[in-house]
Structure 1
Amino acid sequence: MNIHRIYALLSLFFALSMICKGQPYQRIKNGIKTEVNTIEVEIQYYTPSTVRILKWPSGSTFTKKSLSVIESPQETVFTIHQSGNELVLRSKEVQVALNLKSGSISFLTATGKSLLREKEAGISFARFNDAGVKTYTVGQSFVLDKGEAIYGLGQQQQGKMNQRNDILHMIQGNTDDYIPYFLSEKGYGLYWDNYSPTLFVDNPDSTTFKSDVGKCIDYYFMYGGNAHGVVAQMRDLTGQVPMLPLWTYGYWQSRERYKSQAEIVGVVKRYRELGVPLDGIIQDWQYWGDNSHWNAMEFLNPNFPHPQEMVNEIHAMHAHMIISVWASFGPKTKQYEVLNKKGMLLDFKTWPLSATDAWPPDMSHPSGVRVYDAYNPEARKIFWNFLNKDLFSLGIDGWWLDSSEPDHLDVKPSDFDDQTYLGSFRKVRNAFPLMHVGGIFKGQRSTSSEKRVFILTRSMFAGQQRYGANTWSGDVTASWNALRHQISAGLNLSLCGIPYWNSDIGGFFLTRFPRKLQDANYRELYTRWIQFGAFCPMMRSHGTDAPREIYQFGKKGDVIYDAIDKYINLRYSLLPYIYSTSWNVTAHQGSMMRALVMDFAKDKNALDINNEYMFGKAFLVCPVTQPMYSKEEVQGNDTIKVGDFSQIKSAEVYLPKSTNWIDFWTGENYKGGQTIRKETPIDIMPLYVRGGSIVPIGPKVQYATQKKWDNLEIRVYPGADGRFTLYEDENDNYDYQKGKYSTITFTWNDAKKDLTIGSRQGEFPGMLKARKFLIVLVSHNKGTGMNPIEKYDKVVMYTGGRVSVKL
């Protein structure tokens, strides 16, 4: 008899004995089940630090398989103690206290420190008819500490880090995407596992999730001790993050849209001629031709006569190409015909509304475009099979999933009655992007392991990090406020466990800049946005109304051009750091964009800062989010904005406590816990490195894999002990999952000024057997910015064995 069978019999014995003794609960595997005030309550440990809570009206039954949670409960040791009306479950990490009179639940640390509690009488079940199915509108309220900061809830364009005193109508949109989850500065998180439209309300009285549809209340409480720990718990529940290819971390150019094969190939050629690094080009919509053939996944547009030749030319220039794919199909496409016959198309209005491209849409000629049922596994396979046959077979490198929420226009309540494979559209509305993105990931993984899946998606939901996806913030309108709002949008999403995010550099729409690129204020905004983009998981320029290629902003020697070029090259110099950080995301549940609460939770001054963040563990990034170098000037009858660089301006920067900070550009050393001013000429974004950091600097290249990392500059930033692991593999494919990769760990002893380069661990085909490490101890004007170093402190010939260096 195995241990699991013994455990099951013991659990049954305890359950029966409790019932015989008149105990008010039943012990189940990993938890208990009871009834309080006509509500069934189930408390189940998933791990010693993660607890699932289920509640439903007595007498009702349901079956639920989570779309987001893929982890199974681990066998967890816990005790049960009853004192009066309180039943306490205790694991080695978390206590759960159930009030047997009111039914409310409290969560505490193992030592009894209060973390979160449900509000007394804070539960609601209201009968609801969901397209003929009898169900409930469900809600649960919680009580947070006064002044307690919380984060997450997906991505919103409101510029807030701390999500207290918020009211959010959580339904997926173009620029606002939602996850019913929050993370507390106290080191716990809560995931409300429901996919229907949900109202989140936080006020001084309570914090509430209320969802339109649910057979039950279902949520997970996670205690991680700190923000990183909670993110790790969320990933444990909903899926780990696969590695993206190295080339995805280079620079990407796009526009709405390249209108011909010659144009898109010409852009790559121009970058190569200029010597400006580029790794990717993106083809947006309408390569398929007219709207009746919307998303045909074929180059039916006569301006793209030889698609295979086009892809080959781009690859020959060592660039990659991804392409726009939608979740909807025009009535004359092959996909529409197949899906429609099988009843796998949804019936609400989506983009485009008209069969013509005229604006506003001509509704006398409706497009007939319909969204496919991404909840249906067969429909997802059909989608991938067409994508594979018509685009992946050409060598397309990745997928730009536009309208992946999807677009839902002229919304009517009856639209939500539309039936999907999993029930009403209302029931599963917010999980559409998860199912859509997941279908493409699984389709490509089943087809090939030679090329890592890379998906750029406009929308997301809990668990999407497991699908090789990078979310962008939607079609934002260019403005200084929009730039600032991107920072908190990306950080809050990262705190939801989804680490890969980016925005349209420069903003998608230029409606506030009628002179477009001729407006000096916009040119300044674009430059600041590209500086921010250099420190995002993906660096991608995109937009409509005006093209954004670097040469649209002048030529070498022009102030704006040179500033853009500088940050593209800076991005490439940091690729060894960025790729190693991506390994930390995959292997150790790390985060690339880190809200300050992740590293400085004890610094109250840092908790609500919405314009600074850590990029990996080393860099404090402080984007400039206000204009400094444009002024109004009268020219003829017009008042226009012109550039004025006659005076250097400055920006205010807060340096968090508990460490020292070194100016990346000058090497100056500052004590944390203070606000300083940093001079910010147009080519300088405030950038500080935490004391104790070790940062590898890569070679000057035109694309990510042009040169091997055989002469890496290793910058050591003094002020604290430090550690950094350099990760390398084949840069693409899934061999790393078979252990084909290597790591080299650098350790810095600040007191002794010793740098230890550890023995190389692991190996992979093509690995460097011998290399140089060019070591520099950063100081004032030494090892700073992108300045060449005349003489390094040490040059180490490294062949894989441990080396100790005295600096």
Structure 2
Amino acid sequence: MSEKGKMMKNILVWGALICAIYACGETSKSYEQVENGVVVYPTTGSAKGLKVTFVTDDIVKVEASATTAFDTTTSLVAVPEQVSVPIDIKEADGTLTLATDELIVTINQATGQVSYADAEGNPIMSEQNEGRAFEAITVEGKAGYTMSQKFDSPEDEGIYGLGQHQADEMNYKGKNEELFQYNTKVSIPFVMSTENYGILWDNYSLTRYGDERPYTNIDQFKLYDKTGKEGGLTATYYDDQNSEHVFVERVEDIIDYENLTTVENFPKDFPFANAKIVWEGQIEGSESGLFRFLCYYAGYTKLWINGELQFEKWRTAWNPSVAKFSADLKKGEKNDIKLEWIPDGGVSYIGLKALSPVDEAAQKQIAFSSEMGQNIRYYFMAGDNMDDVISKYRTVTGKAQVMPKWSMGFWQSRERYKTQDELLGALGEFRKRHIPIDNIVLDWSYWPKTEWGSHDFDLERFPDITGMIDKIHEQNARVMISVWPKFYHNTEHYKQFDAQGWMYKRAVEDSVKDWIYPGYIGSFYDAYSSGARKMFWDQIHDKLYTKGFDAWWMDASEPDILSNASIKYRKELSTPTALGPSTEYFNAYALQNAKGIYEGQRSVNNDERVFILTRSGFAGIQRFGAVTWSGDIGTRWEDMKAQISAGINFAMSGLPYWTMDVGGFCVEKRYERATEGSEDMKEWRELNTRWFQFGAFVPLFRVHGQYPFREVYNLAPETHPAYKSMLYYNKLRYKMMPYIYSLAGWTYTKDYTIMRGLAMDFSADKKVYDIGDQFMFGPSLMACPVYAYGARDREVYLPKSAGWYDAYSGEYYTGGQTITAQAEYERMPLFAKAGSIVTFGPEIEYTTQKPADPITVVVYAGADASFDLYEDEGTNYNYESGKFTSINLKWSESTKTLTIGEREGSFDGMLENRTFRIKVINKDNKGNIDDLSGYEEVKYSGQPVSVKG
């Protein structure tokens, strides 16, 4: 932070603190000392009780209650070990100061305002004075509170986290986000600052970050139709978009067709199949300022204000997404608006809402507001850097496991392999073509059509499932199976849950039918019940695990009982839970669902690492062997781009394992119909190629989607540049396995983050704060995906550092500049940081094919560098008891020497003796990742070895 920035932050935080201390002349009650902290009873403000305790000397737990009592229920999110923290407590002039070796926490005893500073007294951030609020709420007979907490924080910081969202936003400073779970949306109530602190908001209900107000309909504006008459916008419904035949024209003052309830307000009998709807006219704000808009859309959607296109998007009809934009409006001034919408199929979803302006300083505050809880509970954590903050987050929420080594290889999936022959045929084709692969996936609907949830197989299509799995394993691959928390009401498994009161019954009572023709009735089990979780695992164990499946795909874990239901009805469909009303426990279903599988599998086989792929997630899910993927995203360039910032922010929410459907899931019809040589086929292949290039550099490398088939040999012939590029990046991923698996090991040993926003490594360079289309893959490589059709270059910002090397040409660039990077069809821009190390192994087609020997150590010179090569047994949990090795590779720039340090640790089967090949790249000695020759070879037996570069 600049000196000016530090000064402004000091003024902001301490000014607020002094004001809070002296604004009230009342004498507060004396505090109560409790283990690791204090309890205070504020005399002003909404909180009547405040408990501040230390988890460690730099992690603080804050609980605020609307009464003098505190919530005693066990957190679903936090699992910190209780340790004794030495605290120096001082009381003076109505102020309590709690000091540890790392933090100084100051509490205004009158107002309950809490402020944070480092051990030297330098302010970090503070709760806002009178920034806490409670409002009583009763749901299903249970009392609770709607609650909010606001924080004054440094103006020039970057804010990241909040999970995975689809509006392509990177830096959340000054932005708003609704936190709820939905297909393609994963909400994590955690933020992390470039000022090296984090806040975990421990609440499971519908929550808003930023502005606590919900977006509201456009009738907040004065609206004029296309003739200038006040009252609403002109809505023209064309039943044939080609002839533009008008079915009906009417005036509408709201555009709210966002769910199964509100779509009933469309014109009766309007045919959507080939339709187009246009809303046009003018809007006029009742005040001046920046209005923030949110458009909820499916189908083809465009919106203009004053003739300027705000966005152009597409989503499949059944799976909407959101677009955000802002407009600076002046009071009393009319602004042209036009929304053009092509539904792209049957009944679809569209909505336009807005938030009126707020004071800019208020907008930049960190704020959380939640629909229901018993009291405010949050964790403040401070670190030396952003990695340290994430380590503190995992101290509170649990360690991430080292994923099995095979999971870091390539995953092939499709929606769906309909027979066991199709699945085995696909795997066999990979092996025949020598395309590296470790994992193949059996998606949904392998069961008899009327028996979803039975976990049985349709024997006509899967006559020998055990034999199928054996053949997969014989080909050195693993298999993951899709398992839903959903049960048709006629299945025996449903009846077992129902007999114990462990099914959500509303969907059955309302005869809600799913999308499988002609529609079947069922519901989801209550994952909040420990007994239900055990039963869910027992059923999976008996029907699936005993057959040899290696991994679990937990689909629809939001829970998605009825797609496109309103939030209100979604809560009604999933209540009551074993812990209370769904209003209070709305967001944590996936966490509990994964918990049951993880604990269940480890209870019967603690020698095989659990692997769970889940469509939703929550804070703490990393401790349950879970990877989250970004849901049923669209096959569009803008969707691909949005995954970059979505994945980065998910990782910066403290959860290290993330993936996506490479190529997108939901397919535009033009791609389904594309023929050889057509422009649509050309674009389809280029889209998949660019996405594949990107996918090779995220934590889990996984291809999946609807038709057309996504296997590389189905996407393009082997002579095509698309095929060649995808094969190249697949092989590169496998050659980099010593580097990649080390990163996986670090997630446990160092609480590391694999997919890294640039601010994590270059926080002093403020230009990186808003960059959401580049990221670090580990400490050494910067990936720069290409997300525009026909692009053969792209702008790349090289953060301030010792410099950067083009990974392909070895060309050196100074940091702190923007360049135009070449991006020919078959290559994505990739840069190595000067002062870094990348380790390469031999070419392999699956992760267990051969030991990682020799290992080529590529040093990118220009600054000192260090890399810890991690290895373990690859599939079991022995690393938890210390059975792993770490070899430190250290480059000294001053002496031009690489030192291979003493091997630390051991495990069964480790290589006692091995070969390292050392290659040094610098400004004068260019090198590329495709040619690792020109090395110096050394033998290594576990003792230090030094090599001059």
Q: Please, what TM-score do these two structures have when normalized by structure 1?
A: 0.91
Q: Specify the code of the residue in structure 2 equivalent to 1:36.
A: P
User: Displacement, 1:709?
Assistant: 1.4
The reply to whether residue 265 of structure 1 matches residue 265 of structure 2 is no
The superposition leaves residues 102-152 of structure 1 with CA deviations (integer Å, 9 ceiling, x where unpaired) of 222222222222222222222211111111112211111222232332111
1:799 aligned partner: 941
Q: Specify the code of the residue in structure 2 equivalent to 1:398.
A: A
SS in 1 for 2:607: coil
Comparing 238-247 and 330-339, the one that deviates more = 330-339
The superposition leaves residues 199-234 of structure 1 with CA deviations (integer Å, 9 ceiling, x where unpaired) of 222563143211111111111111113211110110
Pairwise mapping of residues 39-118 of structure 1 onto structure 2 (< 5 A)?
Answer: 39-60=48-69, 62-118=71-127
Q: Find 1:138's aligned residue among 142, 147, 154.
A: 147
Q: Is the 8 A contact 1:782 1:789 kept in 2?
A: no
The reply to whether residue 384 of structure 1 matches residue 537 of structure 2 is yes
2:39 aligned partner: 33
User: Displacement, 1:352?
Assistant: 12
1:10 aligned partner: none
Pairwise mapping of residues 510-659 of structure 1 onto structure 2 (< 5 A)?
Answer: 510-511=667-668, 513-515=670-672, 518=675, 519=680, 520-628=682-790, 649-659=792-802
Pairwise mapping of residues 204-215 of structure 1 onto structure 2 (< 5 A)?
Answer: 204-205=361-362, 206-215=365-374
Q: Find 2:189's aligned residue among 173, 180, 201.
A: 180
User: Displacement, 1:697?
Assistant: 0.8
1:245 aligned partner: 404
Q: Specify the code of the residue in structure 2 equivalent to 1:457.
A: T
User: Displacement, 1:328?
Assistant: 1.2
Q: Is the 8 A contact 1:252 1:278 kept in 2?
A: yes
The superposition leaves residues 678-715 of structure 1 with CA deviations (integer Å, 9 ceiling, x where unpaired) of 11101111111111222111111111111111212111
The superposition leaves residues 33-56 of structure 1 with CA deviations (integer Å, 9 ceiling, x where unpaired) of 121136111111111111111111
1:455 aligned partner: 612
Cα distance 1:66–1:561, how it changes in 2: closer, same or farther (>3 A)? same
Q: Is the 8 A contact 1:286 1:301 kept in 2?
A: no
Cα distance 1:781–1:453, how it changes in 2: closer, same or farther (>3 A)? farther
Q: Find 1:475's aligned residue among 614, 625, 632.
A: 632
2:468 aligned partner: 310
The superposition leaves residues 38-86 of structure 1 with CA deviations (integer Å, 9 ceiling, x where unpaired) of 6111111111111111111235564221001000342112222233232
2:546 aligned partner: 393
Q: Where does the alignment leave 5 or more consecutive residues of structure 2 unmatched?
A: 1-26, 212-359
Q: Is the 8 A contact 1:268 1:281 kept in 2?
A: yes
2 CA distance for matches of 1:565 and 1:616?
Answer: 22
Cα distance 1:100–1:60, how it changes in 2: closer, same or farther (>3 A)? closer
Q: Is the 8 A contact 1:191 1:221 kept in 2?
A: yes
Cα distance 1:773–1:412, how it changes in 2: closer, same or farther (>3 A)? closer
User: Displacement, 1:516?
Assistant: 5.7
The superposition leaves residues 364-387 of structure 1 with CA deviations (integer Å, 9 ceiling, x where unpaired) of x5x221110101111111111111
Q: Is the 8 A contact 1:517 1:546 kept in 2?
A: no
Cα distance 1:625–1:248, how it changes in 2: closer, same or farther (>3 A)? same
2 CA distance for matches of 1:562 and 1:754?
Answer: 37
SS in 1 for 2:586: helix
2 CA distance for matches of 1:408 and 1:142?
Answer: 36
Q: Specify the code of the residue in structure 2 equivalent to 1:493.
A: F
Cα distance 1:61–1:162, how it changes in 2: closer, same or farther (>3 A)? closer
Q: Is the 8 A contact 1:477 1:507 kept in 2?
A: yes
The superposition leaves residues 248-298 of structure 1 with CA deviations (integer Å, 9 ceiling, x where unpaired) of 0111110000000100000000011111111110010000121x3113222
2:884 aligned partner: 741
The reply to whether residue 321 of structure 1 matches residue 463 of structure 2 is no
Q: Is the 8 A contact 1:723 1:745 kept in 2?
A: yes
Q: Is the 8 A contact 1:71 1:236 kept in 2?
A: yes
The reply to whether residue 440 of structure 1 matches residue 446 of structure 2 is no
Instruction: Tell me how many residue pairs correspond in the alignment.
Output: 760
Q: Specify the code of the residue in structure 2 equivalent to 1:511.
A: E
Identity of aligned residues (%): 38
Q: Is the 8 A contact 1:513 1:522 kept in 2?
A: no
Q: Is the 8 A contact 1:35 1:58 kept in 2?
A: no
The superposition leaves residues 730-751 of structure 1 with CA deviations (integer Å, 9 ceiling, x where unpaired) of 2111122232222222111112
Q: Find 2:861's aligned residue among 704, 715, 718.
A: 718
1:413 aligned partner: 568
Cα distance 1:265–1:493, how it changes in 2: closer, same or farther (>3 A)? same
2 CA distance for matches of 1:782 and 1:333?
Answer: 67
SS in 2 for 1:152: strand
Comparing 115-124 and 39-48, the one that deviates more = 115-124
1 CA distance for matches of 2:70 and 2:638?
Answer: 49
2:622 aligned partner: 465
Cα distance 1:114–1:386, how it changes in 2: closer, same or farther (>3 A)? same
1:402 aligned partner: 555
Q: Is the 8 A contact 2:64 2:70 kept in 1?
A: no
1 CA distance for matches of 2:533 and 2:600?
Answer: 8
Q: Specify the code of the residue in structure 2 equivalent to 1:33.
A: V
User: Displacement, 1:791?
Assistant: 3.6
Cα distance 1:762–1:63, how it changes in 2: closer, same or farther (>3 A)? closer
1:770 aligned partner: 913
1 CA distance for matches of 2:515 and 2:797?
Answer: 51
Q: Please, what TM-score do these two structures have when normalized by structure 2?
A: 0.78
Q: Specify the code of the residue in structure 1 equivalent to 2:568.
A: P
Q: Is the 8 A contact 2:58 2:383 kept in 1?
A: yes
2:437 aligned partner: 278
1:293 aligned partner: 451
Q: Is the 8 A contact 2:857 2:918 kept in 1?
A: yes
The superposition leaves residues 519-570 of structure 1 with CA deviations (integer Å, 9 ceiling, x where unpaired) of 2122111111111110011110000131100111222221111011111111
2 CA distance for matches of 1:101 and 1:356?
Answer: 57
User: Displacement, 1:515?
Assistant: 4.6
Q: Find 1:664's aligned residue among 799, 807, 812.
A: 807
Q: Specify the code of the residue in structure 2 equivalent to 1:580.
A: S
User: Displacement, 1:478?
Assistant: 1.2
Q: Is the 8 A contact 2:856 2:932 kept in 1?
A: no
The reply to whether residue 498 of structure 1 matches residue 651 of structure 2 is no
Q: Where does the alignment leave 5 or more consecutive residues of structure 1 unmatched?
A: 1-20, 630-648
Cα distance 1:79–1:324, how it changes in 2: closer, same or farther (>3 A)? same
User: Displacement, 1:416?
Assistant: 3.1
Q: Is the 8 A contact 2:672 2:707 kept in 1?
A: no
User: What is the CA RMSD across the aligned residues, in angstroms?
Assistant: 2.0
The superposition leaves residues 307-329 of structure 1 with CA deviations (integer Å, 9 ceiling, x where unpaired) of 01110111111111001001111
Cα distance 1:274–1:580, how it changes in 2: closer, same or farther (>3 A)? same
Q: Is the 8 A contact 2:841 2:853 kept in 1?
A: no
The superposition leaves residues 390-438 of structure 1 with CA deviations (integer Å, 9 ceiling, x where unpaired) of 1111110100110111104323636536211111111111111100001
2 CA distance for matches of 1:160 and 1:256?
Answer: 29
Comparing 98-107 and 480-489, the one that deviates more = 98-107
Q: Is the 8 A contact 1:478 1:512 kept in 2?
A: no
1:633 aligned partner: none
2 CA distance for matches of 1:170 and 1:356?
Answer: 27
Q: Is the 8 A contact 1:581 1:616 kept in 2?
A: yes
Q: Specify the code of the residue in structure 1 equivalent to 2:917.
A: L
Comparing 23-32 and 49-58, the one that deviates more = 23-32
Q: Is the 8 A contact 2:775 2:783 kept in 1?
A: yes
1 CA distance for matches of 2:416 and 2:724?
Answer: 25
Q: Specify the code of the residue in structure 2 equivalent to 1:329.
A: F
